Amino acid sequence: MIPPAVTDNSGTVPVIKIKYRISDRIYKVVVLKDDCNTEIDLIDSHIDEETSEPHFLNLLVSLDVNQETIEGSEIWNNEDKTFRFCLSTTLYSNDDMKISKKQIIFTVGTNNAAAFGLNGVTITIPKPEENNDLNVNYKGTVSAYQCNPDTYEKEDNDVLGPFDILHVCITEDSNPDVIVESIRTLTLRQNSSQVTYEAIIDGNPVSDAMVVTSSNDGVVLASVQLIEAFFSKEGHLNVDGVVLLGAFGDENKRVDDTGKENNTFDFSVELTKPCGEGNGLGQVLVNYLNSLFAF
């Protein structure tokens, strides 16, 4: 997402203000030339921060623009009276390892009609390959649970029966830089009946009529129509699978998920007991009809 930038000419010097929302981590903001590599000291910066919600910060980066310093410098374009620079924001882990970088190029117009002021800001995002050396080292845990399909909230002790739909939510809730992008495999197993149903294989539902997937804010939902074979014998259902991880809020980041055990999930679901002989749906209907005509 491109952060909003505004100009403020009300003070003693013009100011460019940029708002960021970042993970609550150690960070560094640096002003560079428009090559996004060479550091410069032509623009003074100061940062105000506040906690927006757990694991996140709102940053307001203010850049003071001094006319005498900018005009004639290496970032100044005298023909169209503009200047360009790159603002680089880097996030670090607790052991000072880079885990994310966002680089943004700003082209700023000026107005010298009365006094030096800023007209507007054009924002350019450098090519993604400039950030390809950055990884998110994934060390969190994928969580899966039976959930409400409308709210994605966990539902405990929801016993399912024939023709019910199993709703599975999968999330990464221990690392704010990582989200679950999609489900690679999803398998339902019942040991008592030795029945296995592969609902998702290689990221694709085996049947659009039986399996539906969706996602919301990094939580992935799979809704699976339970097959009748699971209710032939008594026994709970084991649900397991593998997910694909992604980086939250920055398409230029890669997730280093070489520890594939972190991408797996499993949990169990309680099923209703199978109907005994003579107590099936047909027998229940017969008993009900008999009661209507009993004297």
Cα separation, 120 vs 117, in Å, equals 10
Segment 190-222, tens digit of pLDDT: 998 899 999 999 889 999 889 999 988 788 999
Look at residue 239 in the predicted model and tell me its pLDDT.
Answer: 94
Most confident of 40-44, 57-61, 65-69, 195-199: 195-199
Look at residue 58 in the predicted model and tell me its pLDDT.
Answer: 86
User: What's the token pair of residue 101?
Assistant: 């970088």
Look at residue 162 in the predicted model and tell me its pLDDT.
Answer: 86
Which pTM was predicted?
Answer: 0.51
Residue 286: CB atoms within 10 A of its CB come to 12
Is residue 235 predicted with pLDDT exceeding 80? Answer: yes
| 62 vs 132, more confident | 62
User: What's the token pair of residue 239?
Assistant: 């649900």
Percent pLDDT > 70 in the chain is 73
Residue 3: CB atoms within 10 A of its CB come to 16
Look at residue 286 in the predicted model and tell me its pLDDT.
Answer: 39
Look at residue 145 in the predicted model and tell me its pLDDT.
Answer: 92
Look at residue 189 in the predicted model and tell me its pLDDT.
Answer: 93
Look at residue 200 in the predicted model and tell me its pLDDT.
Answer: 94
Instruction: Provide the pLDDT confidence category of residue 3 given band limits of 50, 70 and 90.
Output: low
Is residue 262 predicted with pLDDT exceeding 80? Answer: no
Look at residue 32 in the predicted model and tell me its pLDDT.
Answer: 92
User: What's the token pair of residue 5?
Assistant: 């930038």
Which of 101-105, 144-148, 282-286 shows the lowest mean pLDDT across its residues? 282-286
Planar angle of CA 12, 17, 20, nearest 5 degrees: 155
Domain range list for the chain: 5-133, 142-269
Percent pLDDT > 90 in the chain is 20
* Residue 250 near residue 103, CB atoms below 8 Å: no
Segment 66-81, tens digit of pLDDT: 878 888 889 988 888 8
Is residue 234 predicted with pLDDT exceeding 80? Answer: yes
Residue 282: CB atoms within 10 A of its CB come to 10
Average pLDDT of the chain to the nearest whole number: 76
Is residue 156 predicted with pLDDT exceeding 70? Answer: yes
Choose the CATH number for 5-133 among 2.60.40, 1.10.3210, 3.40.50, 1.20.1250: 2.60.40
Cα separation, 172 vs 161, in Å, equals 29
Residue 295: CA count within 13 A, CB half-sphere: 0
- Mean of pLDDT values over 55-74: 85
Which of 169-173, 246-250, 251-255 shows the lowest mean pLDDT across its residues? 251-255
Look at residue 244 in the predicted model and tell me its pLDDT.
Answer: 83
Look at residue 220 in the predicted model and tell me its pLDDT.
Answer: 92
Look at residue 248 in the predicted model and tell me its pLDDT.
Answer: 65
142-269 and 5-133 share a CATH fold? yes
Cα separation, 205 vs 135, in Å, equals 30
**CATH code assigned to 142-269:** 2.60.40.4100
Instruction: Provide the pLDDT confidence category of residue 247 given band limits of 50, 70 and 90.
Output: low
> What is the Cα gyration radius of the chain?
29
